[in-house]
Each structure stands twice: as C-alpha cells, then as structure tokens.
Amino acid sequence: MWTFFSLGGFIAALLLPLHMVVASLAPSPVPEAYGIPFLKTSFSFRHFLYENPYAFVLPLPFFPVEVVGLVLKLYLVALLGGTAFHGLHRFKYTLFDFGLRKQKRALNVVLYGIAFAVSGMTFLALFP
Amino acid sequence: MATKTVYHRYRPHQSPLWFLSNRRYFAFMLRELAGLFIAVYAILIAVGLFAGRFHPVLPGPNGSIDVYASMAWLLKTRGFFVFTLISLAFACYHSLTWFDLFPQVTPIQIRGWKVPNRWVFGGMVALWIGLSLALYVVLYGGKLL
C-alpha cells in the first residue's frame, strides 16, 4: 500500500495540476481523437502537428495515433489511480487525527477499496 | 494511621480542533485536507469515464441522457469550475509542500557531498514545470505560444 501511496504522490504532485487546468478549466479540453471522450471536443492530429512546431522537438507525435492513444490511456489510469491512492491514504491519516484511530481496519478496507475501484474503473473504461 | 494512595489513570485528552492552536499544525492539516480534494476529483473523473463507457445512454425524465455529453457539461458548470479551482489550489499546495519535504525524507548525496535542500526543491519545481509543459504539448495537444 505504501508503494502505491508513494508512487501516487509523485504522480499526483507532478501531473495532476496540469490535468486539472487542461481537462477541466481550459476552454477547450483533451483529445477525443484518441478514443477518450468528454475530455476534448474537437481535436485533429494532423492539425495539431501543423499548428504546433514545438511538437517536432518531442518524439511522441511521430508515432501513430493508436500508440499515442495507448500512452494517453495508460497515463490516465496512472494519474487517476495514483491520485486516488495518494489522496485517500492522506485522508485516512486526517481521520486518524480526528480520533478515528481505532477504526483503522474498517478505514483501510473502505478507503483503499475506493482507490482500487477508481483504478479498475478507469482501466475498464479506457481498455475495452 | 496509614493513608491510602489513590491512583487516577492518566487519560490523554486531545481536542478535535487541536490543529487550530498553532499555524504549523494548521498548515499540516490543510495539506492533509488537500488529499481529500484531489481524491474526490480523481473519483469523479473515473466514475464519469466508467459510466460513459458501460452506460453511454441512460433514461432521463425528458428522453435519454448522453452520459459523456453530460459529463462534459458538468465539467463546465460554474459549481464544478469553482470546485476544480479550489482543488487546483490544494493540488498545487500539496505538490509544493511535497517538493519541500522530498529532500528531507531522502537526502541526496553526491560523493559524500549533500546537495542543499533548496537546490533539490528548485530542481523538483523545474521538473514539475518542464514535465507539465511537455505533457501539455505532447498529450493534450496544446500550444505553448
């Protein structure tokens, strides 16, 4: 569990703020072309390459859409699963601090259960 | 006359609002609370993805509901926008405190020379910004200028 928490902490710290800005706050959100709906409404890969000269510095856009899509899907599973593990682990200790230390076993089952469910649901939703 | 000593069992008492007594404790609790916000955000997105994948269309009061379209709409509502803004502030606070904590948990040494904590913190922030910009361009198809 601690490994998941620690890894999730790194993922959440480095990737989550950007995801929040791009996926939820920016006026035009994330790629639908990669088979990930509701995260972007209009996106064209060729248009993106044409419009974005910086992308040529980085190798990923040269790969086929399927490969980039796979990377993006794995990224989302790691992001959401890792964030859930990290966040709920910290929340468990918040509840400890509020005096729920005796209910440790129940909290473990519920909170880590939710974190496993989030990871599993994201995986099932993105990988048919 | 022998006196009988009565022992009272020591019962530690801690107020549920103990963290309000000190600024540092409050900052600590704020950091812990950030965990809840980022977890709730992840859960909402995961549930939306899952529901849309397995029940793309649900029956509603005025005909059927497209789940993905509803999620896209929900992300754009004012309430969710404010929630995401608050979560973003918490997430940034959580990230920065983690970068500050990192060199204290795992001190980095190069041939016996300890890299100063501030340098490690600066490096982590640079990594954070660099990685965010790279992913913004590569995965999210954003433009830098």
* A57-86: average pLDDT: 73
Task: Tell if the CB–CB gap between A12 and B46 is shorter than 8 Å.
Answer: no
User: Do B80 and B116 sit in the same domain of this protein?
Assistant: no
Sort out which chain A residues have CB atoms less than 8 A from B143's CB and list them.
51-52, 54
Chain centre to alpha carbon of residue B127: 18
pLDDT tens-digit series, residues A3-19: 777 777 778 778 888 77
How does pLDDT run along chain B (145 residues), one tens digit per residue? 677 888 888 887 777 777 888 898 888 888 888 889 989 988 988 888 787 777 767 777 777 777 767 776 777 778 888 888 899 999 999 999 988 888 888 888 888 888 888 998 999 999 999 988 877 776 666 666 5
The CATH number of the domain holding residue A80 is: 1.20.1300
> Which among B18, B29, B91 has the least Cβ separation from residue A16?
B91
- B67 shares a domain with B111: no
* A114–B contact, CB cutoff 8 A: yes
SS3 B120: helix
Rounded to two decimals, what is the model's pTM?
A: 0.75
Question: How far, in Å, CA of A89 to CA of B2, rounded?
Answer: 55
Residues of B in contact with A40 (CB under 8 A): 140-141
Regarding whether B28 and B57 lie in a shared domain, the answer is yes
Assigned token pair, B110: 């190069």
B86 and B24 within one domain:
yes
Together in a domain, B79 and B143? no
β partners of residue B51: none
Contact A122, B50 (CB under 8 A): yes
Range of the domain at B77: 18-90
Task: State whether B116 and B84 are in the same domain.
Answer: no
Q: Would you call B97 helix, strand, or coil by DSSP? A: helix
What mean pLDDT do residues A50-75 have?
59
Question: Does B41 contact A at CB distance below 8 Å?
Answer: yes
The range of the structural domain enclosing residue A72 comes to 2-126
Contact yes or no for A94 and B29 at CB 8 A:
yes
Q: How many residues does chain B have?
A: 145
Q: In chain B, how many domains are there?
A: 2
